[in-house]
Amino acid sequence: MTRVSLGFSKLRHRFALLPALSLLVFPVAVCHADALSPTVIVADPSGKTLYVAASTAGSVLVVDSATGSVTGTIPLPRNPSGMTLSADGKTLYVTGEAPDGRLFVIDLATKQTLHALPAGHTPMSPTLGPRGETLFLCERFADKVAMIDLTQRRIQAEIPVKRQPIACGLTPDGNLLFVANHLPAGAADQDVVAAEVELIDTAAKKVIASIPLPNGSSSLRGLCLSPDGRYVYVTHLLSRYTMPPTQLERGWMNTNAVSIIDVARRAWLTTVLLDDLARGAANPWAIACTADGNTLCLTHAGTHEVSIINRLGLHMKIDQVIRHEYAPDPAMTPANIPNTLVFLGSLRTRRALRIQGPRGAVIAGSILYVTGYFSDNLETIDLTSPGFTGGGVTALGAPAAPSTVRRGERLFNDAGLCFQQWQSCASCHPDGRADGLNWDLTNDGLGNPKNTRSLLLSHRTSPVMTLAVRETAEMAVRSGFQFIQFAQCSEDDAQAIDEYLKALAPVESPHRRQGRLSDAAVRGEKLFADADCTACHSGQSSTDQNSYDVGTAAGMDESKPMDTPTLVELWRTAPYLHDGRAPTMFDVLKTCNPNDRHGRTTGLTTQQLRDLEAYLLSQ
């Protein structure tokens, strides 16, 4: 069911307008009362104590690195999404994930929270400046990077970035901040669709460069800098969305990668594939570098592995390519490397883990520590041991049988269910939502690619797929495994995935103000009704679940009726229309409805269109 899972997959975007909904405050993720879900992990300067974010248990675990035993718990009023330590190891900074996010400043001597500072919508990846007076963090769903003055305990600046900033890293001098945007921004029907890494001048407090990754780059997750500050490394998927997804082998659908950015040039250097010829390395997540700069370590959340890479050897090989001295192919260039599945070769060791869903990683001395999101445990790897075999696994909590929803979430993220492990359902539906790409699935013919659609509410808004080719979401899940994963899924597993998707809850829009509509959105709410948008988009799920030809179809799909999509969480599902041609909701209202076939909007002024957009994006 991976990508736009054949049934889910593209539960696509057509668009019309949106109903008045009574959606107020929602969790950011599925709640699991029976799980810790360890993610981010940091180590104190001595390496003797680890701090682990229990991301669904609202706490930080204090762990003795020598024994792996939990020696304490720091409760928090919000689920932790990111952490960093002060240079002296005395203060822990933790971001709390919520629409009204917080930065918790914790005194580690007393394990008490000193301050809880406002930190925007879904803050993550806190990063301290070199003097410890300034902290940067990503406001993921506000599309901003916050600069917090820790002395005055306030947000000093909020810097707009492209789309869903999810990780950031600072050069050693503190002058430049690199920001990884989770998803591509802009229309999806262009020749190049890719997420970008943006560069912020911390003194000027503004973006000074946008660095595009190769075409198809999406689902960015982890970012780190080399200790000397010369290179930035970013983990992500490299999707081959321009090809029909009729075969999986040799990376014809999704490949998994790490991109390298040259800091001095402020430019992309190359992208290296992490897969093997006949075995994918799905869903790369966290990435870390040893203090001596010799080794890169990254986690594969979909295949339950780590990659341990000879960083210096990798750069020597890249330099050979640049000098046209790469023996296998002197004509190769850095632009060719992203299409070479064997480039890493002997420079990388793929180490299978005993934990499930590795998402967090930290290196302390010669020891790599990895968190198991789905198994609630911690695995250690001795980077000096032959074959990196040294280490062990310790539990972070009492073992508990997972709920059906929890098991479904694990299966949704597990590439072990896919032929050759190239991808998981989450590869095209990160967090159960969408990757921002157009895929030409075979469920409705070839030559008519459509934009990936969020799976939120998919089980409540049948039929599914843009052309309603799947009668129910349940059918879509099972078809997705057959035609996208090229594997069989047991009925028991499919039902668990159904339950996970049913449990997905909308996240409060960043366009609301303390849960309320803005003045512009209030005006837009009336316009929404006046424009007759509620004729198709009504009720709690904002859809009448019927299909219509509203004049937005193009190419092979022209004049075909399309399923009315829910508009819940519309702010999160750009680009819009079935083929993603409209990068913003304003584009939908202004240029993509010339005959008023999906809402009477042509007579509205620019200000009225902005008000209507404000209302729609508040849902």
Pair 6, 12: CB distance under 8 Å = no
Q: How far apart are CA 191 and CA 68, in angstroms?
A: 49
Q: Which residue has the tokens 């998994």?
A: 256
Among the listed ranges 73-77, 105-109, 284-288, 483-487, which one has the minimum average pLDDT value? 483-487
Quick one: which of 373, 374, 394, 391 has its CA closest to 382? 391
CA atoms within 13 A on the CB side of 69: 2
Q: How far apart are CA 565 and CA 275, in angstroms?
A: 35
The CA–CA distances, whole Å, from 450 to 3, 331, 443, 578 equal: 12, 36, 11, 5
Domain boundaries, the chain: 406-503, 519-616
Q: Which residue has the tokens 């998981």?
A: 424
Among the listed ranges 282-286, 522-526, 552-556, which one has the minimum average pLDDT value? 552-556
Pair 294, 312: CB distance under 8 Å = yes
Percent of the chain with pLDDT over 70: 95
Residue spans of beta strands (DSSP E) within 326-478: 348-352, 358-364, 367-372, 377-382, 393-395, 438-439, 450-451
Fold of 406-503: Cytochrome Bc1 Complex; Chain D, domain 2 (1.10.760)
Q: Which residue has the tokens 């803050």?
A: 123
The answer, yes or no, to whether the previous bond of 575 is cis (omega within 30 of 0) is yes
Burial readout 553-577 (b: 16 or more C-beta within 10 A, e: otherwise): beeebeeebbbbbbbbbbbbbbbbb
Q: How far apart are CA 206 and CA 147, in angstroms?
A: 11
The average pLDDT across 244-270 equals 95
Q: Give the number of other Cβ atoms within 10 Å of residue 276's Cβ.
A: 18
Look at the alpha carbons of 510, 224, 217, 267 in this order and tell me if their dihedral is positive or negative.
Answer: positive
Does position 11 have pLDDT exceeding 50, yes or no? Answer: no
pLDDT of 423: 98
pLDDT of 336: 97
Which pLDDT tens digit goes with each residue over 471-480? 999 999 999 9
The average pLDDT across 195-209 equals 98
The average pLDDT across 261-271 equals 98
Does position 15 have pLDDT exceeding 50, yes or no? Answer: no
Q: What is the pTM of this model?
A: 0.94
Residues 442, 447, 453, CA angle at the centre, nearest 5°? 60
Give the pLDDT band (50/70/90) at residue 16: very low
**372 Cβ contact list (under 8 Å, min separation 6):** 38, 353, 355, 356, 357, 358, 378, 379, 393
pLDDT of 28: 55
Give the pLDDT band (50/70/90) at residue 554: confident
Q: Which residue has the tokens 């599945």?
A: 341
Pair 56, 29: CB distance under 8 Å = yes
Does position 21 have pLDDT exceeding 50, yes or no? Answer: no
pLDDT of 32: 66
Which pLDDT tens digit goes with each residue over 368-417? 999 999 999 999 999 999 989 888 999 999 988 999 999 999 999 999 99
Q: How far apart are CA 10 and CA 46, in angstroms?
A: 48
The average pLDDT across 532-543 equals 90
The average pLDDT across 96-114 equals 97
Does position 7 have pLDDT exceeding 70, yes or no? Answer: no
Pick the CATH number of 519-616 from 1.10.3720.10, 1.10.760.10, 3.40.640.10, 3.90.550.10: 1.10.760.10
Which pLDDT tens digit goes with each residue over 430-456? 999 999 999 999 888 889 999 999 999
pLDDT of 604: 96
pLDDT of 523: 97
Does residue 30 or residue 579 have the better pLDDT?
A: 579
Give the pLDDT band (50/70/90) at residue 30: low
Percent of the chain with pLDDT over 90: 86
Across all residues in the chain, what is the average pLDDT? 93
Asked whether this chain's domains 406-503 and 519-616 adopt the same fold, the reply is yes
Contacts within 8 Å (CB) and 24+ apart, 199-206: 199/266, 200/145, 200/159, 200/161, 200/176, 201/175, 201/176, 202/129, 202/134, 202/136, 202/147, 202/170, 202/174, 202/175, 202/176, 202/177, 203/175, 205/147, 205/156, 205/157, 205/159, 206/159
